[in-house]
């Protein structure tokens, strides 16, 4: 059995296959990430980062190839089982926070836990602990609109970690912030990842941020180059 948290092997993904607007996004991509390892996924816009992260995180399926999470082949699971594994094992962070506007910061972190069967008191305690960890406990009762961009993204990090995933997938997580805020928020993210021992794949075009991760892989022309 593989000791990798995530292992994708020979992924192929083509959109609009056989049509004039065919896009061959992934042409045999393999990547393995160990527990505690933080991998930078560097690629120009349109190269297929989101496609790869969505396939790795069980939000999309490849045309062929294999996705293994914690040594288990996810390729042939039913949709229902994939959803269950995704909820309990994978945390996602996007460029935009996608917090629910009508709920407070705290509630945004509690809700995914309730959906995963956690009792309300325990969910609340964990949510508060996470907000404290990222330094914004005093903002717990604020709705997203009453938070700064950096604070919104910190709440999104807490939400991604709410169900104690073993794999974190982040798609340009600080791409929407000004450079100074981006640096500080990135520090918070890396700190969280290191403290929890997660395996993480973090897509960025920012080479300085990429250099602070354990290693970098580059997606170009459908091929993943490992350095
Ligand atoms: P990135 O995240 O690196 O910007 P994406 O994975 O979003 O790249 O997209 C890779 C390529 O695939 C782009 O050319 C994009 O236009 C195309 N693409 C993405 N999703 C679809 C889709 N559902 N249908 C057709 N083409 C798509």
Nearest CA to ligand 1 atom 10: 48
Question: What does DSSP assign to residue 48?
Answer: S
Strand 199-204 versus strand 167-171 pairing type: parallel
Domain 35-60+78-217 CATH class label: alpha beta
Per-residue pLDDT averaged across 28-52, rounded? 95
Query: Residue 177: what pLDDT?
Result: 87
Return the domain boundaries, the chain. 35-60+78-217
CA distance 220 to 227: 13
Distance CA 178, CA 156 (A): 17
- 68-95 pLDDT per residue, tens: 998 889 988 898 999 889 988 999 999 8
- Give the CA dihedral 51, 98, 197, 141, nearest 10 degrees: 180
Most ligand 1 atoms within 8 A of CB, residue of 26, 45, 48, 202 to mutate: 48
List, in sequence order, the alpha helices (H) in 93-148. Answer: 105-115, 120-133
Which of 15, 22, 96 has most ligand 1 atoms within 8 Å of CB, for mutation?
15
Report the nearest-CA residue for atom 14 of ligand 1. 46
Percentage of residues in the chain having pLDDT higher than 90: 75
pLDDT at 1: 53
Per-residue pLDDT tens over the stretch 153-203: 999 999 999 999 999 999 999 988 888 899 889 999 999 899 898 999 999
Query: For the purposes of burial, counting CB atoms within 10 Å of the CB of 23, is it exposed (0-12), middle (13-18) or buried (19 or more)?
Result: middle
Q: How far apart are CA 86 and CA 82, in angstroms?
A: 6
Does the pLDDT value for residue 67 go beyond 70? yes
Beta carbons of 52 and 217 less than 8 angstroms apart: no
Span of 9-13, 36-40, 83-87 with lowest mean pLDDT = 83-87
Task: Name the pTM for this structure.
Answer: 0.94
Q: Which DSSP state fits 207? A: H
């Amino acid at each position: 059995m593989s000791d990798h948290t995530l292992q994708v092997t020979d992924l192929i993904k083509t959109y609009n296959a056989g049509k004039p607007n065919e896009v061959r996004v992934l042409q045999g991509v393999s990547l393995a990430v160990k527990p505690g390892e933080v991998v930078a996924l560097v690629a120009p816009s349109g190269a297929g980062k989101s496609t790869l992260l969505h396939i790795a995180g069980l939000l999309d399926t490849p045309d062929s190839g294999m996705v293994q999470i914690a040594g288990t082949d996810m390729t042939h699971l039913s949709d229902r089982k994939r959803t269950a594994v995704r909820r309990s094992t994978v945390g996602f962070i996007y460029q935009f926070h996608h917090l629910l506007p009508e709920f407070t910061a705290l509630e945004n972190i509690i809700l995914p836990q309730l959906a995963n069967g956690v009792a309300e008191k325990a969910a609340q305690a964990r949510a508060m602990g996470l907000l404290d960890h990222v330094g914004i406990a005093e903002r717990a009762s604020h709705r997203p609109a009453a938070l700064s961009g950096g604070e919104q993204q910190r709440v999104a990090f807490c939400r991604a970690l709410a169900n104690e995933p073993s794999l974190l997938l982040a798609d340009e997580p600080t791409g929407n912030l000004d450079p100074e805020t981006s640096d500080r928020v990135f520090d918070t993210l890396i700190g969280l990842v290191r403290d929890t021992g997660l395996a993480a794949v973090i897509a960025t075009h920012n080479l300085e941020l990429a250099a602070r991760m354990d290693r970098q892989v580059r997606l170009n022309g459908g091929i993943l180059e490992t350095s």
